[in-house]
Structure 1
Amino acid sequence: MSDNAASPRASPEAAVKEPASMRLPDETWVSIFRLLGYKTLLHVRRICKRFKDLLEVRHKPRAQLDFDDVFFRQAPPAKLEKKQKYKLHPMLNDVDCARVTPTEAEIMHYKEGSGDETFNGYDYPAAKEFATAPACTSIDIELNESKVGKVSNKRGVTVSQVLVACGKFWEKPIPDSVANRVRRQGGWPRNEKITKLTTMGDHCFFEGWGQPTGLGEGKVRLASHWFGS
């Protein structure tokens, strides 16, 4: 009996060096990735170097292989459409924008078996990404129909700039007359600290942002939904 006959046959699975899916052309993978959202693609990017390159490397002039819009790194366009549509960065809905400060942007994550965990959104690279896709140069912000103010950046307004603006809004002092009225209604002592959020009573839970509205010339209006109770 020959050595070849004595040796065990290699299984078909062992003979395949890589999964069939990995032999798909780049264009096919790009078409698949285009069906996925921002958060899913963050995980896809970590699977292998090939996927990371497809998602990270700019492939211009082949614009169909460009994911700048998906990852909110698309700079303000030189030519804007008359009715430019904008997407909002998912992180702005993950942060509790009713309790954000200029240094703390709380993100709640439920971990099975160990309860809730909180993270600071400012610590994540996403905070440096553009707040909208494509990026806008100015955002008028409203929280529960209260004017937060305008954030401007010729290079594109970032997530952190929106969060800082909201944080500064909540830190603005309350008129003494309003603070005293809230203390009386709540039966609190005169030295009780009253904040903007306190004045909202039970309706103090952030319920997310509405869709950003283009105002023309790279300007956007961003308004929150009504706060919940």
Structure 2
Amino acid sequence: MLQSLRDYLDSIRARDPAPRSRWEVLLYPGVMALGLHRVAHWLFGAQLYFLARLVNHFSRMLTAIDIHPGATIGKNFFIDHGFTVIGETAEIGDNVTIYQCVTLGGTNPTNGKGGKRHPTLEDNVIIGSGAQIIGPITIGKRGRVGANAVVLDNVPEGATMVGLKARSTLMPAEEWLREFIPYGTPCDEPCEEMIGTGNRRIEEMQKQMAEMQAELTSLKAAQTGSGQDAGSTQRSGTDS
């Protein structure tokens, strides 16, 4: 058990360069919230719902992170900072990272009966700060959700989602895969590539517009010249 704790703390240090030791990581609100959730989840499974809720409320007051006791969470889960909400039927795989102010929210059943209504995050998913993942959808393995994105549909493996409502960047993570992408948002290579593509298109459009303007100027000059020649011919006929 002690080795498992060490491995967990080391997995956090691998994703966050701020802590100088494992002891410092133990003070992280996300680590404390997860530890208390393990207790609450065990009580929930034993149908001791009031005690499970009691632990949950204590954890929320202490860490500003609200994890429902019924949520299922895998290994090496890391909530960086706090103010995160995770619903009852949420399922989280291994090595998942969530930044601050994220909601794994659910849909409200019209029949009043519970069921699977919260998201499923598969292994190695990264959720950026402020993102809202709503409904019984699945974020595939290695999926990334950018900051403040709103995701209402399934996300395929390796995809990166950004925007309101979130749309795919069409840049699968495996094409430029790195071990870890902070905040789930690509900020260098793929963004620069897309910006470069957009700039090239703008340059092509500007070139086409310049060519069209040149052709228009030539046509106007030709028409003006034809008019002047016709006028000269008419005057010559009158003089004679």
Per the normalisation by structure 1, the TM-score is 0.24
Q: Of the two structures, which has the highest relative contact order with CA contacts closer than 8 Å and spacing of 6 or more?
A: 1
